[in-house]
Amino acid sequence: MLTIEELYQFMIDIESDRIERTTSINKTDKFAQAVCAFANDFPRHGSPGYLLLGVNNDGSPSGLQVDDRLLQNLAALRSDGNIQPLPTLTVQEYVLPDAQGEVAIIVEVFPADLPPVRYKGQVWIRVGPRRAIASETEERQLSERRATMIRHFEASH
């Protein structure tokens, strides 16, 4: 997981193909699309993507109040059956020391070994700072990555 220093850097940095900020806590579709897009790692960073909840567009904490239900709902994105294949993700709550107990939630999503990852049948990717449904060409490129990964796995055994 991130250190507090890394978290602050991600909070103040501009949104990118690895960072998405939101103050919302109940937009499950939006969160699942972001998880799917980060798992597809279309830009091939090979590094996790981060969904930051409780962070305003200017990078300041929004004063999000976290409860167990929110944490469970975020963790359930992994295995509720809507994202296939299952993504690898972690959910972490941070208490920001200089924000008088305000918190940020981080959903850390690792690149999938076998893309494309789909949410409700659609392939989502990051295009710079935004999410988008993959075009046929982009989806084909992700499928080719899957085929490459399978060949590498078979060759090593």
Q: Which of 122, 124, 87 is nearest to 107 (CA)?
A: 87
Does this model's pTM top 0.85? My answer is yes
Assess whether pLDDT exceeds 90 at residue 150: no
* Separation between Cα atoms, residue 30 and residue 1, nearest integer Å: 22
- 35-67 pLDDT tens trace: 999 999 999 999 999 999 999 888 888 888 888
Assess whether pLDDT exceeds 90 at residue 88: yes
- Taken in order 142, 143, 147, 150, is the CA torsion positive or negative? positive
Domains of the chain, first to last: 4-155 (3.30.950.30)
